[in-house]
Amino acid sequence: MNTNPYRLAGWSATLSAIATILGAITLVIFFSVGDPYGKINDVCSIVIGLTAILILFTLYQIHRASAPTASLIAFSIGAVAMLIGAALQTLLVITGANFGDLVTFVFGVYGASLVTFHWLAKSSGTLPRGLSWMGIAAGLGYVLVTAGFILGGPNHLLTYIGGALSVIAYPVWGFWLGRMWLSAR
C-alpha cells in the first residue's frame, strides 16, 4: 500500500512541467506555421491551470501551520486564478473565444502565489533551499510576463524576459518538486 500523501501532487508537478515544455515548443511552431500548434499550446495551458490547483493546495498544506494567513491567501487567490484560467482556455479551445489578456493576468497571479509559497519555504526550510529559489524564479517569470503584457503587450522586454525565465525555471522546478513529492515517505 502506498502511504505517500504527496503522490498526486508529485504527478501534477511533473505533468505541469511537461505541459510547460510542450506549450513553449508548440507556441514557437504556431508562430512559424500556424495551427494546429496554437490549439495544442492552449490545451497545455489548461493542463498547467488544472495541475496548478493541486500543487498550490499541497504547498498550502505544507505551510498552513507556520504561516496560516499568508498560505491561505496564496492558495485561495492562486487556485481561483488558475481555475478561471483553465476555464477560459477551455472556452478558447472549444469555441475560439479569446481571453488572452485575462489569461495572462491569471497566470501572473499564479506566479505571485508561487513566489509567496517558495519565499515561505525558503524562510522556514520546509523545502530544499535550491528548490525554493527555483520556485521563486518560476513564479517571477509568470509575474514578469504579466507585467510586460500590461506595460506594452507581447513584444515588451519584460514579456520576453519573463517568458524565458518561466520556460526555463518552471519545468526545472516542476520536475524537481514532482520527484521530491513522488519519493516522499
Tens-place pLDDT, residues 40-89 = 988 999 999 999 999 999 999 999 999 999 999 999 999 999 999 999 99
The reported pLDDT for the residue numbered 3 is: 61
Domains contained in the chain, CATH given: 7-183 (1.25.40)
Centre a 10 Å sphere on the Cβ of residue 65 and count the other Cβ atoms it contains.
10
The average pLDDT across 131-145 equals 96
Confidence grade of residue 1 (pLDDT, cut at 50, 70, 90): very low
pTM: 0.91
Torsion of CA 62, 65, 71, 76, to 10 degrees: 90
Minimum mean pLDDT among 13-22, 89-98, 150-159: which range?
A: 89-98
Classified as helix, coil or strand, 44 is helix
What Rg value do the Cα atoms of the chain yield, rounded? 16
Q: Quote the CA–CA distance of 42 and 103 in Å, as a whole number.
A: 11
The grid cell for 88 is 477560459
